[in-house]
Amino acid sequence: MSRSIVLGLNAVIVAVTDEQPRVLAVDSEEGVALPYGPLDPNRHRTLELGLRSWVREQTGLELGYVEQLYTFGDRDRVSGHDERLLSVVYLALGRERSVPLADATWRPIYDFLPWEDWRNGKPGSIDRQLAPGLREWMERVGRTADRRQRCAVSFGLRGAPWDGERVLERFELLYEAGLVLESSPNAGGKSSGRSMALDHRRMVATALGRLRGKIRYRPVIFELLPAQFTLLQLQRVAEALAGARLHKQNFRRLVQRGGLVEGTGALETETGGRPAELFRFRQEVLRERPAPGVGLPGLAS
Amino acid sequence: MSRSIVLGLNAVIVAVTDEQPRVLAVDSEEGVALPYGPLDPNRHRTLELGLRSWVREQTGLELGYVEQLYTFGDRDRVSGHDERLLSVVYLALGRERSVPLADATWRPIYDFLPWEDWRNGKPGSIDRQLAPGLREWMERVGRTADRRQRCAVSFGLRGAPWDGERVLERFELLYEAGLVLESSPNAGGKSSGRSMALDHRRMVATALGRLRGKIRYRPVIFELLPAQFTLLQLQRVAEALAGARLHKQNFRRLVQRGGLVEGTGALETETGGRPAELFRFRQEVLRERPAPGVGLPGLAS
DNA sequence: GTCTCCTATGCTCCTAGTGAGTATAAGTGG
DNA sequence: CCACTTATACTCACTAGGAGCATAGGAGAC
């Protein structure tokens, strides 16, 4: 049984609207799925171009910022295939807009990973379901020091701090423990989140973790915002991605003194309070600071 | 011409000895090459296991710490192949030791990327050859604002700071400008560095950039050290990777007060001066701090 | 108008961390 | 005992970050 290799291209396309980070997904037989297409060795000169063309075809969207995320290739990650399926996954950022093709829709990321959103305090499901579930799992498979350490570090148990960037570690731990079930459309209550096709939820987890890390040292957050924005809009997007509330005054101080933005003089009056100045991203910061990012005051660094 | 896909696995295996970061390489027809082997869909359950088995076969080395780096898949990156070659590249860390197989040797990374080593001041080749070369290239292809920005940011020209982590950006810029020539064993003088087979030098550049970033927020540097070490040894390894000198007293303060190491009480007397205490990595730091890394005092952060 | 309730924005205070350097300790080889 | 090496403790100034107070300028209720 000499199997051939098929190379798939997947995109985790992220946008933030109404203070919710969202991912563009299509409907498939296996459930909610990321835009996908196989690499065509003849047509696609590069992997990224192949990805862009598949996304265009399936969602009508022309991608802007794109970066490679990870390549998944375990044999058992998808069942029932005759070929060996490898998937190269990309992260794309953009502003949400209506998508021409009807079956492509923007879904809130935290529907799939509800334990990652701490903006309204610690999600109750962590103490109610996930932590007990992990404990049960450890009883079942053996309470090794290594497993205890992983649980503590990933979920901030036993005095460890919560680290927003460990999204993937948390997902993989829950997966191992059988607390998130994939490939079964209606599996899991609200606690363990909505599932996706195949291992697409793992891809979303990878993307969120990477994005949370990256906004701190590269100005990628501006890919998610219009050309002009108020500082509160910027903060809301940062909070949506970080999944945590930030200290307002200090956030402003950081982005302004850090030279990331510059005022335009124009005012936004639809704020519901005092009008806010509109700002724009300051390109020159790239030449001035080695690692310009937004900084997340109020988070454990 | 419907081409099939071949999936290659490459390893950038890094160790530090004699204050030099080194990469394990084998000799091939095209020149110095990274350990390589195609994925066997039947034998290799995961990509990482496939990689480990190829490295074992080609170098006799059993890998420890391994992480996925990047997947290269451009059509034109290798010429003369009938199939489309994709390469999934992994970064591996270890302590250097004699390698059973004779044609696998440890080569200094800075032989391939000499402009990355600033430990003895700014490498002269930057001002002598690379910067002028980039200028010429821009004259030739057009001096767009975007190109000027890339040059300035990557190489710290026109007042921009040098950012040690932008290894890949620098390499790609030099490659575009024709200042590093691959696939020609004797190309380039000392200035542009020794070349490697195919696009393997790009892989090494990717690995070095990732590693420089990672030691700051994950304690991976200890993978490169013996179980016990003096603080100066630790510092020398950090310097070797960062390609820069660090402030000694502040470096010690950072790793000690950061809880990354703990003294063993034992002394190392072969220092040539006052004996130094031997330290070991402190596992518990993982539970205490969200992003424990060594910190590089003296570098622009 | 004026009161209340928004959000925006400026400023202060305190603490922890970082950059840079001085001083002292404890070995080695002559 | 000397010069020289490396180790380690400590100081000082400065900056960045956490937390909160105070004021500014709009909208809507009355």
Strand C lies under 7 A from the Cβ of residue B159: no
Whether the CB-CB separation of B160 and B152 falls below 8 Å is answered with yes
Distance from CA of B273 to the nearest CA of A (A): 37
Alpha helices in chain B (DSSP H): 47-59, 109-112, 124-125, 131-141, 145-155, 167-176, 200-214, 231-242, 248-257, 285-288
- Model confidence at A63, pLDDT cuts 50, 70, 90, reads very high
Q: Is B159's CB within 8 Å of A1's CB?
A: no
- The last residue of one of the domains, among A176, A192, A208, is A192
pLDDT at A118 (0 to 100)? 92
User: What nucleotide is nearest B256 when CA is compared to C1'?
Assistant: D8
Residue B300: what pLDDT? 38
Query: Between the CA of A270 and the C1' of C4, what is the distance in angstroms?
Result: 19
Nearest to A300 among B71, B160, B290 (CB): B290
Percent of chain A past pLDDT 90, that is, above it, reads 59
pLDDT-derived band at B161 (thresholds 50, 70, 90) equals confident
Tell me if chain B has a CB within 8 Å of the CB of A49: no
Q: What is the phi-psi region of residue B121: left when phi exceeds 0, alpha when psi lies from -120 to 50, beta otherwise?
A: left
Mean pLDDT of chain B: 88
* Beta carbons of A291 and B165 less than 8 Å apart: yes
Please say if the pLDDT value at position B209 is more than 70: yes
C1' of C2 to CA of B59 (Å): 84
Of A71, A153, A300, the CB nearest to B88: A71
CATH number of the domain where residue A226 is located: 1.10.10.10
Highest-pLDDT range among A79-93, B218-232, B282-296: B218-232
Would you state the pLDDT for residue B191? 54
Nearest CA in chain B to A72: B47
Is the pLDDT at A301 greater than 80, yes or no? Answer: no
The whole-number pLDDT of residue B80 equals 67
Closest CA in chain A for residue B160 = A287
Residues in CB range of B105: below 8 A, 6 or more apart: B24, B25, B26, B99
Provide, in whole angstroms, the distance separating residue B273's CA from nucleotide C18's C1'. Answer: 28
User: What ranges in chain A are assigned the alpha helix state H?
Assistant: 47-59, 109-112, 124-125, 131-141, 145-155, 167-176, 200-214, 231-242, 248-257, 285-288
B226 and B243 share one domain = yes
Confidence of residue A191 (pLDDT cuts 50, 70, 90): low
pLDDT at residue B230 tops 80: yes
Q: How large is the average pLDDT for residues A161-171? A: 93
Residue B301 touches chain A, beta carbons under 8 Å: yes
Q: Which residues contact A73 (CB under 8 A, 6 or more apart)?
A: A84, A86, A87, B7, B39, B46, B47, B88
Same domain for A227 and A183: no
Q: Is residue A68 part of a domain?
A: yes
Task: Give CA–CA dist B153/B226, Å, rounded.
Answer: 36
Q: Are B106 and B23 in contact (CB under 8 A)?
A: yes
From A68, A75, A159, residue closest to B287, measured CB to CB? A159
Nearest chain B residue to A290 by CA distance is B163
Is B186 near strand C, with its CB below 7 A from some atom of it?
A: no
Residue A58 and residue A124 in one domain: no
DSSP state of B295: -
User: A213-235 pLDDT, tens per residue?
Assistant: 999 889 999 999 999 999 999 99
Is residue B210 assigned to a domain? no
By the CB < 8 Å criterion, does B49 face chain A? no
Q: Is the pLDDT of residue B177 over 50?
A: yes
- A135 and A181 in one domain? yes
Residue A224 · residue A251 · CB < 8 Å: no
Question: Does residue B269 lie within 7 Å of nucleic acid chain D, judged by its CB?
Answer: no
Domain total of chain A? 3
Residues A85 and A30 in one domain: yes
**Listed residues B78, B108, B138: the one ending a domain:** B108
Q: Cα(A41)–Cα(A49) distance, rounded to whole angstroms?
A: 11
Whole-number pLDDT of residue B1: 53
Residue A74 maps to a domain: yes
pLDDT tens by residue, B39-89: 998 899 999 999 999 999 888 889 999 999 999 999 888 776 778 899 999
Reading the block at residue A86, the tokens are: 């490898």
Report the distance separating Cα B240 and Cα B159, nearest Å: 25
Q: Chain A contact for B291, CB < 8 A?
A: yes
Asked if A42's CB is within 8 angstroms of B1's CB, the reply is: yes
Chain A: give the shortest CA distance to residue B108, in Å. Answer: 26
A286/B163 touch (CB, cutoff 8 Å), yes or no: no
Whether the per-residue pLDDT at A80 is higher than 70: the answer is no
> Which residues in chain A are contacts of B283 at CB distance < 8 A?
149
Q: How far lies B179's CA from each of A110, B64, B176, in Å?
A: 47, 35, 8
Q: Do A45 and B76 touch (CB under 8 A)?
A: yes
The integer distance in angstroms from the CA atom of B208 to the C1' atom of C2 is 66
The three-state secondary structure class of A112 is helix
* Chain A contacts in chain B segment 216-245 (CB below 8 A): none
User: Are residues A5 and B2, on separate chains, in Cβ contact within 8 Å?
Assistant: no
Answer whether any strand C atom is within 7 A of the Cβ of A273.
yes
Which residue among B41, B158, B162 sits closest to A3, beta carbon to beta carbon? B41
Q: What is the CATH number of the domain that holds B101?
A: 3.90.79.10
> Do residues A173 and A231 share a domain?
no
Q: What is the pLDDT of residue B299?
A: 53
Tell me what percent of the residues of chain A surpass a pLDDT of 70.
92
Query: Does any domain span residue B15?
Result: yes
Which pLDDT value is given to residue A300?
39
- Does the CB of A174 sit below 7 A from strand C? no
Nearest-CA distance B77 → chain A (Å): 10
Residue B300 in domain:
no
Decide if B301 and A290 are in contact by the 8 Å CB cutoff: yes
pLDDT at A274 over 90: no
Residues A119 and A188 occupy one common structural domain: yes
Are residues A10 and A92 located together in one domain of the fold?
Answer: yes
- How many Cβ pairs closer than 8 A exist between chain A and B? 111
Separation CA A33–CA A26 (nearest Å): 5
Which chain B residues in 1-40 sit with Cβ < 7 A of strand C?
A: none
At B268-287, the pLDDT tens digits run: 877 677 889 999 999 888 88
B134 in the same domain as B87: no
Cβ of A1 under 8 Å from any chain B Cβ?
yes
Using the predicted structure, report yes or no on whether residue A120 has a pLDDT greater than 60: yes
Q: Is residue A301 part of a domain?
A: no
Given CB atoms, is B30 within the 8 Å cutoff of chain A? no
pLDDT computed for residue A113 by the predictor: 96
Same domain as B154, residue B89:
no
pLDDT at B121 over 50: yes
From A74, A109, A144, the end of a domain falls on A109
Question: Residue A133 is part of which domain span?
Answer: 114-192
Contacts of B42 in chain A (CB under 8 A): 1-3
Q: Do B3 and A41 touch (CB under 8 A)?
A: yes
Shortest-distance nucleotide from A267 CA to C1': C8
Q: Report the distance from CA of residue B214 to the C1' of nucleotide D14 in Å, as an integer.
A: 28
B103 and B118 co-located in one domain: no
Rounded average pLDDT over B101-113: 89
The answer to whether residue A168 is domain-embedded is yes
Check whether A24 has a pLDDT greater than 90: yes
* pLDDT in the model for residue A293: 72
At residue A68, the pLDDT reads: 97
**What does the pLDDT average to over A18-44?**
91
Helix (H, G, I), strand (E, B) or coil at A156: coil
Are A87 and A122 in the same domain?
no
Give strand pairing partners of B12. Answer: B91
Which of strand D's nucleotides are less than 7 A from any protein C-beta? Answer: 4-11, 16-21, 24-27
Which of the 271-300 residues on chain B come under 7 Å of nucleic strand D at their beta carbon?
A: 271-277
Q: Is residue A144 part of a domain?
A: yes
Strand C footprint nucleotides (protein C-beta < 7 Å): 5-12, 17-22, 25-28
